[in-house]
């Protein structure tokens, strides 16, 4: 776990995977969440077990307090909701609603302890949207540094928009080391900085084709 200070006198520790980063653990769980929802009925033949498994995954995402992971889950829910409404997939919407209700029940049971209430309060307070916005002008804060990194990445991409700048070596102690460097914290912006618009579109197309072929294979196998 990663110590994150105190809230109402309670020591707050955020779970993480490696490199002291809760987002790694949260985003891994966020990737698993849509699979759990889609395959609920195949969970050892038990619909209740599938709902519980998906709820545990969603609850774990929230407990990591990773904003990246939570945004990912919200995007999944938005896509599922829009797809279910426009394609009239009512069973999928019902499954998702059951998962949300079960997750809310599980988290409400946890909230009976003071430590958990303080943990949620820390996430909604110091890590909440209002606090994040207030720290954006401060370049020394985590949020302000990330914003400056995004703006700098866009500037670098704009200098060579079509073909990019290539891999930038990593400087160390005033010397240039041979090897891959990294300009942006965002994978998408890093691709744009290194390979320009052409590389960005090629990567996006490859990702689209991978997803399309995977869904087609699942459909053929009735998954």
pLDDT of residue 3: 76
Q: Which helix (H) or strand (E) holds 144?
A: helix 142-159
Q: How far apart are CA 119 and CA 10, in angstroms?
A: 8
Q: Which tokens hold the place of 113?
A: 């302890």
What mean pLDDT do residues 168-177 have?
Answer: 59
- Residue 45 confidence class, pLDDT cut points 50, 70, 90: low
- 90: three-class secondary structure by DSSP: helix
Say what the pLDDT of residue 221 is. Answer: 67
Q: Which of 68-77, 151-160, 213-222 shows the lowest mean pLDDT across its residues?
A: 213-222
Report the C-alpha gap between 89 and 176 in whole angstroms.
Answer: 55
pLDDT range class, residue 203, cuts 50, 70, 90: very high
Residue 10 has φ and ψ, to the nearest 5°, of: -100, 130
DSSP assignment, residue 223?
-
pTM, 2 dp = 0.70
Cβ–Cβ < 8 Å for 26, 64: yes
Helix (H) or strand (E) segment spanning residue 26: helix 22-38
Q: Are 97 and 157 in contact (CB under 8 A)?
A: no
Length of the chain: 223
User: Burial level of 152, CB count in 10 A (0-12/13-18/19+)?
Assistant: middle
**Mean of pLDDT over the chain:** 82
User: Quick one: pLDDT band at residue 41, thresholds 50, 70, 90?
Assistant: low
Q: Which residue has the higher pLDDT, 50 or 30?
A: 30
SS3 166: coil
Rounded Cα distance, 29 and 74, in Å: 13
A 10 A CB-CB count for 62 gives: 18
Structure tokens at 31: 């990737």
With bands split at pLDDT 50, 70 and 90, how would you rate the model's confidence at 179? low
What is the C-alpha separation between 223 and 218, in angstroms, rounded? 5
Return the SS3 of 197.
helix
CB atoms within 10 A of CB 61: 24
């Amino acid at each position: 776990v990663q110590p994150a200070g105190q809230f109402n006198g309670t020591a707050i520790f955020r779970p993480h995977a490696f490199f002291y980063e809760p987002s790694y653990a949260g985003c891994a769980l966020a990737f698993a969440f849509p699979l759990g929802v889609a395959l609920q009925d195949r969970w050892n033949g038990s619909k209740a077990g599938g709902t519980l498994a998906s709820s545990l995954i969603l609850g774990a995402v929230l407990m990591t307090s990773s904003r990246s992971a939570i945004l990912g889950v919200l995007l999944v829910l938005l896509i599922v909701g829009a797809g279910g409404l426009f394609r009239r997939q009512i069973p999928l919407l019902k499954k998702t609603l059951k998962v949300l209700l079960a997750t809310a029940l599980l988290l409400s049971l946890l909230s009976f302890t003071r430590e958990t209430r303080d943990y949620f309060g820390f996430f909604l307070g110091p890590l909440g949207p209002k606090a994040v916005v207030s720290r954006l002008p401060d370049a020394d804060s985590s949020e302000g540094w990330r914003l400056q990194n995004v703006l700098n990445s866009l500037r670098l991409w704009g200098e060579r928009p079509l073909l990019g700048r290539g891999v930038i070596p990593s400087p160390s102690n005033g010397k240039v080391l041979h090897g891959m460097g990294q300009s942006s914290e965002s994978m998408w912006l890093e691709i744009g900085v290194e390979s320009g618009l052409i590389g960005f579109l090629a990567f996006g197309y490859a990702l689209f084709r991978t997803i399309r072929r995977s869904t087609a294979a699942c459909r053929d196998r009735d998954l």
